[in-house]
Structure 1
Amino acid sequence: MELLMQGVTLMVIGMATVFAFLVLMIQAMNGSAAFFRKFAHLFPEAPAAAPKKATAAVDPSAEIAVALAAIRAKRG
């Protein structure tokens, strides 16, 4: 019975530790959000990335031909 009580005690301590860590993490996240909300004017937005150029559409039969050529080259 004593071993069972030690297990329950260890479980409660572990769960309390995890709960305390999660509470602290949430508080830290809320604090940092408030900080960045207050001082947002000091952190300029990053420029938007340039859109990528559209690549030419590849014919599916050409892809199949390339795959078959690679298989033939591999087999010899």
Structure 2
Amino acid sequence: MELLMQGVTLMVIGMATVFVFLVLLIAVMAASAGFFKKFAHLFPEEVVETRSSAAATADPSEEVAAIIAAIRAKRG
């Protein structure tokens, strides 16, 4: 019976430790979210252009032809 009580005690201590860790994790995440929301103007996001100007003016039929050629090459 004593061994069973030691097991229950260890289980409760372990579960309490995990619970406290998760509560602290949530508190730290909420605090960091508040910090970055308050000071967002100090961390500007970089503007990344996804297409180059040459690709934007390219003929779309060339892109379609490249896709068709890739499909034909894959199928054999």
The amino acid of 1:57's aligned partner reads I
Query: After the TM superposition, which parts of structure 1 deviate over 6 Å for at least 4 consecutive aligned residues?
Result: none
Q: Deviations over 1:18-65 (max 9, x none)?
A: 000000000000000010011000000121341486572144443232
Equivalent pairs counted in the alignment come to 65
Unaligned stretches of 5+ in structure 1? 66-76
User: Structure 2 unaligned runs (5+)?
Assistant: 56-62
| TM-score normalised by the chain length of structure 2 | 0.72
Alpha-carbon RMSD: 2.1
Per the normalisation by structure 1, the TM-score is 0.72
Between the aligned residues of both structures, percent identity stands at 60
